[in-house]
Structure 1
Amino acid sequence: MTVVEPRLTLERRLLREHALVIACDEVGRGALAGPVAVGAVMIDAPRARKRIPVGLRDSKLVPEPRRADLARRAADWVAASAVGWASAAEIDEIGIMRALGLATARALADLEAHGVVAADAVVVLDGNYDYINPAAGTRLDVRPVIKADRDCASAAAASVIAKVARDELMVRLHDEHPAYCWARNKGYASPEHREAIRAQGLSPLHRASWSIADAPTLF
């Protein structure tokens, strides 16, 4: 399989017209348990001239033992980064798309607390749908880009940073609910996770509104 290396082509083009680019990507959307997380990173023209961290890829293409180091290097490369969260209870209450928007709004608020004004930026969002503005009630300049986490270095950085943060959280939560083996499956629908649900029922950290039989499989 040919691995596509992310580039800064789109970001550099956007930075000719905008002072800042914020890239966002979600992780945990298809999990049965735990929160959804959205990584957000900001780059400006000086950062876009720097060398992309070696090995930077969409988090799904990075072997787990290498992700933490890559996330640290990605965070050092961008001008600012943040991770926003929406809990399993919030997903049950408002649905996954609005929860993604809520998590993104929280990530952007974290960036703004560190001096990044989202209204001054163009927001590159992995996917084909702007779930940020409808959920957050904002009017940000959001550009959905299919496979942004594969093709755009900034989105790949957001993906890896969010993935490592969520995985670390699920490992910590494993100690509270060890029967579900979250340290290994990170809340996704592995066979051992499904079997534990059948034997133990749902924990308070499961997404109770999701059909276990139809849930996505572990990737």
Structure 2
Amino acid sequence: MTVVRPSLRVEKKLLGDGRVTVIGMDEVGRGAIAGPVAVGVAAVTIDVGRVPQGLADSKLLTAARREALDPVVRRWTRTAVGMASAEVVDQQGIVPALGQAGAAALGALVSDGVTLDGAVVVLDGSFDWLTRAVPATLRLPAHPLEVVVRVKADRDCASVAAASVVAKVARDALMTAAHDEAPHYAWASNKGYGSTAHYDAIRAVGAHALHRKSWLHQASSVALDGFAELDAFAG
């Protein structure tokens, strides 16, 4: 498989047009049936250095490569990860959960000294789930936070690829740690996504607090009986 190497072309165009900071944003765990959804952010400015060697969309990298890149990315630029729990996904839905996690990630950046004044968020995907979720404490008096939605931004934009890496590493670490408490779900290997072993364990011992209960109910007729992953859980 040929790995597409992201560049700073989009970020430099936005910075050249007058933005002060470009914040790449990407989510991981959207299609899992257990664990939180995580959103990573990576902020770059005009003085950003060269893209770290080997950086790519986290889905195109091995776990070992992601873990090696994580500290490199964190030295390259300011990053943060926000999460929304399985309970939030169940109670509010996946889109509000994504927004909550994204807002938390932005809040962490601000706490780290990154200003949103003159910033633009490059959000991977085709739908803006962030804007409505940004709390008043992060909103600018003069104008709302600018969000640019870009399909496959995690493949093309270095800031978004960096965000995907830190989010994936952080979420994987959480699910691996949870495996020690409940090894029968095989979270160390499936990271909360649907798999035969995962659904086998749910059928044998029931659901865990980390499971998205509403998603299991929707999947039960297919996934728990036939061990087939639903399209809704893919990605």
Deviation readout 1:73-132 (Å, 9 max, x if unpaired): 111111x11000000000101100010000000000000001112243010000011111
**Number of residue pairs the alignment of both structures matches:** 216
Does structure 1 residue 101 correspond to structure 2 residue 96? no
SS, match of residue 181 in structure 2: coil
Alignment of 1:1-219 (within 5 A): 1-16=1-16, 17-47=18-48, 50-78=49-77, 80-137=78-135, 138=139, 139-210=144-215, 211-212=218-219, 213=223, 214=230, 216=232
Tell me if the contact between 2:26 and 2:160 (Cα under 8 Å) persists in the aligned partners: yes
CA contact (8 A) 1:124 1:143 kept: yes
Structure 2: gaps (5+ residues): 224-229
- Counterpart CA distance in 1 for 2:20 and 2:176 is 38
Report the identity percentage: 52
Moved more, 182-191 or 133-142: 133-142
Cα distance in 1 between the residues matched to 2:212 and 2:160: 26
Q: Is the 8 A contact 2:33 2:233 kept in 1?
A: no
Question: What's the secondary structure of 1:18's corresponding residue?
Answer: coil
Please report the TM-score for the alignment, with normalisation by the length of structure 1.
0.94
Which amino acid is 2:166 matched to?
I
Residue 135 (structure 1) shift: 2.3
Could you tell me which runs of 5 or more consecutive residues in structure 1 were left unpaired when the two chains were aligned.
none
Summarize deviations over 1:40-85 as a string: whole Å, max 9, x none: 11000000xx22111100001001111111111111111x110000
CA RMSD of aligned residues (A): 1.4
CA drift at 1:216: 4.7
Change (3 A) 1:91 1:55: same
Which one-letter code corresponds to 2:50 in the other structure?
A: R
Q: Give the match for residue 226 of structure 2.
A: none
Q: CA deviation at 1:218?
A: 6.4
**Conserved 8 A contact 2:33-2:192:** yes
Counterpart-to-counterpart distance in 2, 1:165 and 1:149: 17
> What is the CA distance between 1:136 and its match in structure 2?
2.6
Q: Letter of the aligned partner of 1:69 in structure 2?
A: A
The 3-state SS of whatever aligns with 1:118 is coil
SS in 2 for 1:45: coil
Runs of 4+ in 1 over 2 A off after TM superposition: 135-139, 211-219
SS in 2 for 1:91: helix
SS in 2 for 1:142: strand
**Range with greater deviation from structure 2 (199-208 or 1-10):** 1-10
Question: SS at the partner of 1:56?
Answer: coil
| Aligned equivalents of 1:26, 1:66: Cα separation in 2 | 18
CA distance in 2, matches of 1:71, 1:60: 14
Distance in 2 between residues matched to 1:94 and 1:70, nearest whole Å: 33
Alignment CA distance shift 1:189-1:31 (3 Å): same
